[in-house]
Amino acid sequence: MSATPFPRNRAALAAAPAADAPPARPRTTPLLRSAADLTPSLFDQVVCAIGLILLWDALLSVMMSAPSQRFILRAGGAPESSGDTIKQLIFAGLYATALLRIVMLHGVRAFRYLSIPMALMVVLAIASSQWSHDPSLTIRRSVALVGTTIFGLYVGLSYGEVALARLIHRAVFVLAVLSALLAVGLPSYGLMPAEQGSQWRGVFSHKNGLGDAMAFGLTAGLFVLRSRPVTDTMALVWRLGTFAIMAGCLVMSGSATALIVAMAGMTLVMLVTHRQDAGSLALELYGGTMVIMLAAIFALLNLESIVTLLGRDITLTGRTLIWDFAFRMIEQQPVLGYGFSAFWSGLDAPGALFWRTSGRFDIHAHNGFIQTTLDVGLLGLGLFLVAYVIYLSRIARIVPVDRSGAARWHIVFAMMLLLGNVAESSLLIQNGLLWFLFTAFQTRLAKTVHAHALTPRPAAGRRPKLQNGIPVAESRS
């Protein structure tokens, strides 16, 4: 029996493998970790950043209209803007670039990662021109919805979870700085009209847009910080400074909905990143769900006191009036709705009845699920619910095998998607941020699930063959 030579120095001793010790198990699947940190080329980063800012309806609304024009309603039931044609050309160029890059980098097979129910919703939106009271308007906005979906596919293929959260945080920080400068330096542009409260709106067309952006930026930034902790003191101070600026803009916007979304999103980030094992995560999510349900019951029982505390009236700034009208209109055309993005458009539109009876000139239902039902009926809402359930099922499949925590960003986004549409209409919207993000996250998760499914599994009692830390299939002779 030959003796194993003893290493002569400490370095050799550290490098020498134990005789019977199995190879150390990695903390997370390398495939999932590398996918989470995936970042595209510089060109694609610039295109994605520009698109993200434009889809937040920021900057263009300031550059292409005077302060007095930003809230004037024309006969078409949309904000007056002399730059519609320019905006259409800009978005057309953005979407064409995204389509070209998808084909160049991934080929046409990349479209298999697109959620089928979401694709059917887009098809339904186009088909709804057949029963819309304004077919040409529905067609134009449906084409823009197709472009928004393509851009979401492009970003989902290009970015991993952590990299996308980092992109959102950085883009929102830029918007926060510009909004603060505009609100302080040019209040005629950066503030809401005096009769509407004079809250900050910054580079956005409305204060709620500023609030929503800050809520997403704060949540994404906290997720990045929790997923990839900063060890350098100056970098940590800089990160906290960005949080302070975004939080200030959120407060100055006066958007109660955005404040609730931000608090819920950041709380959920702390919850899902606190522990790393799937069992603890499931327990904490269950407990968090119970807390949310109890809070909702408490809020319903004390609604009048809560809305008074938030500075709102019992109608939630008129939202309950709109919802009551919308439900009565849905009863008349429940299955297919009134045509995509046409319900509130024009003096002869179905929604014009609400204007004449209430004296309010709202151009959406202030609830994404109600607005979707008005546009494409219960059929369209059902397709969204199917897409959402598929999304949740994929999250449940990936999270237990991804101990890096990156995949848990999907849990946070899934919750924010629902909360963001309770009091605002931001679900099925052409050139809309949440539809774009939902497409991007669905695509990212579908690609991760597909790649994970193709990773070979080791046979019972055998160790997998590794190449660069990633399991590979063994050739059979």
In this predicted structure, what is the pLDDT of residue 360?
65
CA-to-CA distance for 308 and 313, rounded, in angstroms?
A: 6
In this predicted structure, what is the pLDDT of residue 192?
82
CA-to-CA distance for 387 and 446, rounded, in angstroms?
A: 12
In this predicted structure, what is the pLDDT of residue 468?
43
**CA angle 179–182–187, rounded 5-degree value:** 125
Interval 136-177: pLDDT, tens: 999 999 999 999 999 999 999 998 888 889 999 999 999 999
| pTM of the predicted structure, to 2 decimals | 0.77
Burial of 229 (0-12, 13-18, 19+ CB in 10 A): exposed
The low-confidence residues of the chain, meaning pLDDT below 50, are 1-31, 33-34, 66-83, 278, 300, 314-315, 460, 466-471, 475-477
Interval 89-126: pLDDT, tens: 899 999 999 999 999 988 888 999 999 999 999 999 99
CA-to-CA distance for 272 and 268, rounded, in angstroms?
A: 6
Query: Of 73, 71, 13, whose CA–CA distance to 349 is shortest?
Result: 73
Helical pair 409-419 and 433-454, crossing angle rounded to 10 deg: 150
In this predicted structure, what is the pLDDT of residue 205?
80
- The amino acid present at 235, given as its one-letter code, is A
CA-to-CA distance for 48 and 165, rounded, in angstroms?
A: 12
Interval 60-73: pLDDT, tens: 766 655 444 444 44
Burial of 22 (0-12, 13-18, 19+ CB in 10 A): exposed
- The amino acid present at 432, given as its one-letter code, is G
In this predicted structure, what is the pLDDT of residue 462?
53
Can you tell me whether residue 431 is helix, strand or coil?
Answer: coil
**CA angle 238–244–250, rounded 5-degree value:** 140
CA-to-CA distance for 159 and 448, rounded, in angstroms?
A: 11
In this predicted structure, what is the pLDDT of residue 189?
81
Helical pair 409-419 and 256-272, crossing angle rounded to 10 deg: 160
HSE toward the beta carbon, residue 367, CA cutoff 13 A: 18
Q: In the 8-state DSSP scheme, what is residue 401?
A: G
In this predicted structure, what is the pLDDT of residue 294?
56
CA-to-CA distance for 101 and 210, rounded, in angstroms?
A: 30
Structural tokens at position 56: 């937040």
In this predicted structure, what is the pLDDT of residue 426?
77
CA-to-CA distance for 333 and 133, rounded, in angstroms?
A: 13
CA-to-CA distance for 475 and 450, rounded, in angstroms?
A: 22
CA-to-CA distance for 25 and 123, rounded, in angstroms?
A: 46
